[in-house]
Structure formats: C-alpha cells, structure tokens
Amino acid sequence: MAFKSSNELRAACLDLPAGSDAAADAVARRQDTLTKPRGSLGKLESIAAWLARWQGRDMPRLDKVKVIVFAGNHGVTAQGVSAYPSEVTVQMVANFAGGGAAINQLARLAGAELSVIPLDLNHPTGDFTQDVAMNEAEFLAAVSTGYEAVDEDLDLICFGEMGIGNTTPAAAIAAGLFGGTGRQWAGRGTGVDDSGLARKFAAIDAGLARHAATLADPLAVAAKLGGRELAAILGATLAARHRNVPVLLDGFVVTAAAAPLAKLHPEGLAHTLSAHVSAEAGHRQLLEALQLAPLLDMGMRLGEGSGACLAINIVRSALECHARMASFAEAGVTDK
C-alpha cells in the first residue's frame, strides 16, 4: 500500500484487526493436557498462545520466518552525535550483502530469511534541530516502503535497522511521545564520548523545542524527529498487524520506531513481543512505558535485528514443546 496522506495512514493505524481468542484458547487447552505440571513452562506457554492468536491458527507454525533490516542516514549527525561517520551506513549495507555482519550469522542460525532494504542513503534526512527530518511526502514514502515489504504468508517477522546516528532520532521520538528530555532518553549509541553525549542531549532538546507545537500527534513526531528506516519500521509493523503476522521487536531504535502505533491505538502493539532489552539508555523505560516485557536481557546494543534473531530461537522452542510434547493420555502418564 502506498499511503497518499497522513490522514490515510492514521486511519490505517486505527483500523487494526484483533487476534483470534479461539486460537489462543485452543493452545491453552492443549497446554493443560501435556506431560508437565500446568503452567510449568512459563513464558513458553504464553508465547505459543501469542503465536496462535496473531496467526489465527489453533496450531501455530514457523515455516516462514523473516528478518528485514531497514537502513537510512540522518542529517542530525551534523551535530556530532555519533562516533562514526555516515558513510558507515552504506559500508555496513554492503557487509550485510556479503554475509559478514552479526545479523547474517544470527538469522542463519534462527532459520530466518534476511532481507536488507536501504532507503535513499545518498540523501540523509533533514537535521531536525534546524528543519523537519522528513516532510509529509518523504515520511509517507518511507512508511509505504516498510508496509509493502511484509509478505502475507509469513509466520513471524523481525525488524532491524542500520543508520549511523539513529539512536538520536529514536531518543527524540521517545521523548516526543512520552515526555522528558534528551538526557532522560539518550545514551552513548555507538560509543560517543562525554562531549558527544552532551551534543546528543542538546540536539534532542533542540529538536523537541523546534517541533513542540506538533508533539501531540504521534505521526508528526515520527516524521519530524525520526528517520526513513524508523518510518519504514512503523509501516512494516502496521502491515504485519493487517496481515496477521506476529512481530518480534528488536532494541531501542526498533521499539521507538513502532511506538507511535501504540500511542495511536491502545492495542497497537499487541501483535508484538519485545525480544530483548538493550543496553542502550532509554530502552528499558521505553518498554515500561509501552508495557512490554522483554524476553532477553543480554547487554546487547548492536541493532541490526540481532536481539530479535536470538529470540526467534525461544519462539521456536515454545512451538516445538507445544506441538511435539505428548499428552498425559498419549504417553500413558497419570495426570493428577
């Protein structure tokens, strides 16, 4: 879908299908017959029910799992907010293509197809301390690219990102949506020193002040303070909901990118699970604001969808136990 206006996009964000209670209930009933004390597999049981709810199947499956990494460049890097130059984004996209990045290894081990989508890398977004990051047309184009990247036949999807400087717009979006300052939400990202961190705080605060009049609108926050890859993740998360594909959210940047959907609709991220809490400052409090409990806490802050890929293996474990364990009756084991 190519969104033609912000109002059309807003309407799509408000028109969200509910999951299947019947499928989730069927999973819960089967769990209670399996050869284990009831509830003893903890989150693995709820993950199986979550899969069923959003796939709409009594017996979920994970035959087609995909990771999409969106890449974009950011004008706000002119403020000295990153330890790396913007050309690293292009270089890392080439590294993904060559199979040399962490996400290549993790996706392969998780049995997930990997796709990388660069978004106009030769034209960074505007510096949001001086202008909007994206005008309406640019924002809608990026959202539409993300939306169209999600296939209907997927069983599970993860989103990753690559964009030098993108923890700055992510922190700005978090502050714009939930309040606070740059100091409250921003961390060191790729490893800026104290001076760089101070510049990061200042850039976020300048952006919040410049665009203060529109912060009540989550889509305006995403457009004016965000980035193309973040907008694409928003569109892809929306498409996954419309197409009954459950989503594993990666780290701080991906979570911030999807957060406007939760501000627009109280159940906007119900089809997602938080894969992990990253070491990036702000991610834990963002998850708390969104009432999302992370599956993993590995001290990671790489991005690329790396934490989400690790969590795919947990979801696979949940499904294997659900689908392949014997019931008490099948195993001839006495139930209580």
What ranges in the chain are assigned the alpha helix state H?
6-14, 21-31, 43-55, 87-98, 102-110, 136-148, 167-178, 182-185, 194-210, 218-225, 228-242, 252-264, 283-290, 306-324, 328-331
| 18/56 Cα distance (integer angstroms) | 10
Active site residue 304: yes
Q: Of the residues 148, 304, 320, 330, which is catalytic?
A: 304
Measure CA 110 to chain center: 17
Which residue in this structure is represented by tokens 């609108």? 217
Query: Helix, strand, or coil here: 117?
Result: strand
Q: How far apart are the first and last CA of the chain?
A: 53
Instruction: Give me 189's structure tokens.
Output: 């990202």
| 229/74 Cα distance (integer angstroms) | 10
Q: What is the DSSP letter of 300?
A: -
Per residue in 6-41, is it b (16+ CB within 10 Å) or e — as a string? beebeebbeebeebbeebbebbeebbeebeeeeeeb
Type of residue numbered 330 = E
Catalytic residues: 304
